[in-house]
Amino acid sequence: MTKLFDTVFAAPGTEEHKMNAHLQRKIESFHWVEERHLDLPFELQHTLEVAQAEMLRVNGFRSPKDKLTILLNTMQLIVGIIQNGHENAGNDHLLPALILCIIRANPQNLISNVKYVMRFRNQEELQKGATQFCLTNMMGAIS
């Protein structure tokens, strides 16, 4: 897959390329969003930085497996931050925390990265619960 990467990943002029650019502008317009705007009852300012850095690594990889690993790591970091650092936190805070992470990191080509994984990753891997959970939340956060 890595040999075909430049051909199949967000080629310029495609609808997907336009969607990435639109999402990038949309995320930039929400740079002012804070935890309170997403009904998060706790601060995530510095604790989300590790998850943001992990998310930004996704563009450094070409294989669907590696990209999925980065997305899964990002999700695990956010879940860990919520579970370990905040007494009032629960599953209801996961999607808002992920959205905040995406806004603060503003990764390029996020739509293409998620769709690339969904298109080209082994279907058995995509059927695993953790993978489905991760991709569903990512798609929910970017839609």
Looking at residue 96, its amino acid is P
C-alpha neighbours within 13 Å on the C-beta side of residue 29: 6
- Assigned token pair, 113: 């990265």
Could you name the CATH architecture of 42-142? Up-down Bundle (1.20)
- Those residues of the chain that have pLDDT short of 50 are none
C-alpha neighbours within 13 Å on the C-beta side of residue 131: 17
pLDDT at 43: 80
pTM for this prediction: 0.90
pLDDT at 5: 79
pLDDT at 2: 66
CB 114 within 8 A of CB 138: yes
Map out the domains of the chain as residue ranges. Answer: 42-142
Distances (CA, A) of 82 to 19, 40, 60, 104, 136: 30, 10, 27, 17, 18
- Assigned token pair, 82: 């919520």
Complete DSSP assignment for 3-47: TTHHHHSS-TTSHHHHHHHHHHHHHHHTTT--GGGGT-SS--TTT
